[in-house]
Amino acid sequence: MAVHLLAASSTTGGTNFAGLLLPLLLIVGFYFLLIRPQRTKQRAQQALLSSLEVGDDVMTTGGIFGTIIEIDDEEGVVVVEIAPGTQVRMLRQGISQRFIEEEDQGYEGDGDADGSVDEENDRQP
C-alpha cells in the first residue's frame, strides 16, 4: 500500500512541475512579445522629445503639423507655429514625430553630372 502511495506521489510531482513551467513560459513570452517592445518604443519617444530643437518640423499627437519656435525646458512646454502668425503652446509630450528634410543626393533632375544646370537646354522656343 505504501508503495502505491509513493508511486502516485512521484507521478503527480511531474505534472506539478509541468503545471508550474507553463505559466512561467507564458510570462516570459508576454515579456518578449509585449513589454520589451513597448519599453523600446518609450525609450525612442523619450529620446525624440529630449532632442527637439527650435526650428524642427514636427507633428503633434493630434495630427497637427508645425514648426517649433520656442522651447521652455523648465515647464516642459513648446510653442509650435502651425500657420503663419498662429502659435500653439503645448506640452513637450504632445509631439509625436519630428520630420527631417532629406537632401536630394540621388536626384538627377534638370542638372548635369556635375550638378550644374544647363540653361540652354532649359530654354524653350
- Give strand pairing partners of 81: 67, 87
Per-residue confidence (pLDDT) for residue 14, from 0 to 100: 55
Q: Which residue has the higher pLDDT, 14 or 75?
A: 75
Q: Where are the domains of the chain?
A: 1-51, 53-99
Q: What is the pLDDT of residue 11?
A: 52
Separation of alpha carbons 60 and 66, rounded Å: 8
Q: For residue 12, what pLDDT is reported?
A: 53
Q: Which of 79, 53, 57, 54 is nearest to 66 (CA)?
A: 57
Q: Which CATH class is domain 53-99?
A: mainly beta
What's the gap between Cα 25 and its chain centre?
Answer: 28
C-alpha–C-alpha distance, residues 111 and 109, integer Å: 6
From the list 46, 40, 97, the residue with the least C-alpha distance to 68 is 97
**pLDDT over threshold 90, residue 62:** yes
Length of the chain: 125
More confident residue, 90 or 122: 90
How many CB atoms neighbour CB 66 within 10 A? Answer: 21
79-112 tens-digit pLDDT = 999 999 999 999 999 999 999 877 655 544 455 5
Residue range 2-58, pLDDT digits in tens: 445 444 555 555 568 878 898 899 999 989 899 999 999 999 999 999 999 999 999
Please report the sign of the dihedral spanned by the C-alpha atoms of residue 50, residue 54, residue 56, residue 61: positive
pLDDT of residue 19: 84
